[in-house]
Chain A
């Protein structure tokens, strides 16, 4: 694996540790950390800081029976939660989102495919498959977009992104990523607003394709 050069900004890792990052971006952060020792260590640092703050935070008195109730639950049998581990190029958080179901790719044209992983009012996550040499349609973002490369690589106006790299786009970034030669490029992309394509797909079709 080539060295990761585009990481998650520190404030975003802190927000992830403290649970304040929207779900779709938390997916990208957790997936990147699965691949990146550097950001895993940074997360460890923020967890340590969170732990230190928790230890020194003020106490609130508990109900008298809370402890007794809890102690009586310790021996209760539990159903183990299903564990979804990384598989192939897909880190654990993506497998967690799929919950054991196979990927379902939808064709977007020009060989580009997508597989929607999660969608809500606050944003969405999807996998994008871009054949080598193919451009992702020119688009702008209403809000924030995080793109994590899982296979192959792409290049755009801002640089080259290989496996494990994250590109962070906001409304100011208008870019045309092109998948590099070699393997098809597969990315995890998260947005907090629908992407606006300027070419390739008429904007009217966007709801239909859920882009």
Chain B
């Protein structure tokens, strides 16, 4: 999708052979910022264009999920959407069936969630959330809306600052927090991991969450909050 007079676009290119076919594992991607000589216009996300050409480094990785979701958002890319589906739909089905939903009905929810991802992709902002986090919340919301036939209350979106442009370093900071978080989850003891899964995919009430002493929610959160500190300061600035 073209953004009219957009002066800045992000291109994501695979750099050499990624090697590991496993989804979610980090592969090296190159990020190139292209600047055209046109007057600045409003872009959905980002920062002022004063930074010029962004020089990519080898540490800068974007997850496959983010790359696919950005391609869906910006190009309405159905091939990328198909890849998102292949990775996510079987996991979403498992997620929905955990809560006692029958297989056929679970597929209805999966279809509904994936359609919502396609239709609402323009709302995805990689400065604010990881692709998996954004899709997780959509899955939870749609599941509740469908199962309980009630509209789940959602917070106001923060208004965009007009004239903002994509900020690669912010996007990468959000991405890096996500991969650190995944590593942290992998290092948990099996029983702790099971509890975390139950808290986020299951049906623990807030009372149960606060009384489960084995639940390392705080660890998980303080870990990701480090990266969110910057975001928080920025959010404050918008108010």
- Chain A residues in the interface with B (C-beta under 8 A): 1, 9-12, 14-21, 23, 26-27, 29-31, 33-34, 37-38, 40-63, 66-67, 69-71, 73-74, 78, 85-86, 91-93, 96-97
Contact = CB atoms under 8 A, between A and B. Distances in A.
A82 to B, nearest CB: 11
Contacts of A37: 232, 235-236, 239
Interface string B104-143: 0011001100110011000000001111111111011101
Contacts of A29: 153
Given A19-B143, A34-B155, A44-B228, 5 more contacts: A20-B205, A44-B129, A48-B178, A49-B217, A74-B81
Chain A facing B: main interface SS: helix
Contact of B82 (A19, A49, A56, A71): A71
A50 B133 contact: yes
Chain B facing A: main interface SS: helix
B210 A41 contact: no
Contacts of A26: 152-153
A47 B156 contact: no
Interface stretch (B11-19, B28-36, B87-95): B87-95
B82 A67 contact: yes
A41 B153 contact: no
Given A11-B217, A51-B133, A70-B111, A19 B95 contact: no
A12 to B, nearest CB: 4
Contacts of B135: 51, 54
Interface of B: 24, 65, 78, 81-82, 85-86, 88-95, 97, 103, 106-107, 110-111, 114-115, 118-119, 128-137, 139-141, 143-144, 148, 150-156, 158, 177-178, 181-182, 185-186, 196-197, 199-207, 209-210, 217-218, 220-221, 224-225, 228-229, 231-232, 235-236, 239
Contacts of A20: 203-206
Given A55-B24, A55-B65, A67-B85, A96 B154 contact: yes
A191 to B, nearest CB: 15
Chain A CB within 10 A, most for which of B155, B224, B228: B155
A57 B91 contact: yes
B11 to A, nearest CB: 24
A12 B107 contact: no
B205 A48 contact: no
Given A40-B155, A42-B221, A49 B232 contact: no
Contacts of B114: 70
Contacts of A19: 140-141, 143-144, 152
Given A30-B155, A70-B115, A14 B206 contact: yes
B200 A56 contact: no
Contacts of A71: 78, 81-82
A27 B221 contact: no
B158 to A, nearest CB: 8
10 contacts: A10-B218, A14-B200, A15-B205, A26-B152, A41-B228, A53-B200, A54-B91, A57-B94, A86-B156, A92-B155
